[in-house]
Chain A
Amino acid sequence: MIFNIIFFSLLAIIILAAAIYAVVQKDLLYAVIATGVISLVLSIYFFIMQAPDVALTEAAIGIALTTIIFVITIRNTSRREDEIPVNKEPDREEETK
Chain B
Amino acid sequence: MDPILYNKIISVGVYGSAIGLILIGLYAVLVKKHLTKIVIGLSIIDSGVHLLFIAVGFIKGGTAPIFSEKGIELVNQGTAMVDPVPQALVLTAIVIGFGVTAVALSLVIRLYRHHHTARIDHIKSLKW
Contacts and interface: CB of A to CB of B under 8 A. Distances in A.
Interface of A: 1-2, 4-5, 8-9, 11-12, 15-16, 19-20, 22-23, 28, 31-32, 35, 38-39, 42, 45-46, 49-54, 57-58, 61-62, 65-66, 69-70, 72-74, 76-78, 81, 83, 85-86, 88, 90-91, 94
B67 interface: no
Contacts of B94: 54, 57-58, 61-62
Interface in B45-85: 47, 50-51, 54-55, 57-58, 62-66, 82
A32 B108 CA distance: 15
Nearest to B111: A77
A61 B119 CA distance: 27
Interface of B: 1, 6, 9-10, 13-14, 16-17, 20-21, 24-25, 27-28, 32-37, 39-41, 43-44, 47, 50-51, 54-55, 57-58, 62-66, 82, 87, 90-91, 94-95, 98, 101-102, 105, 108-109, 112-119, 122, 125
Given A11-B17, A51-B82, A65-B98, A77 B43 contact: no
Contacts of B51: 42, 45-46
A51 B56 CA distance: 12
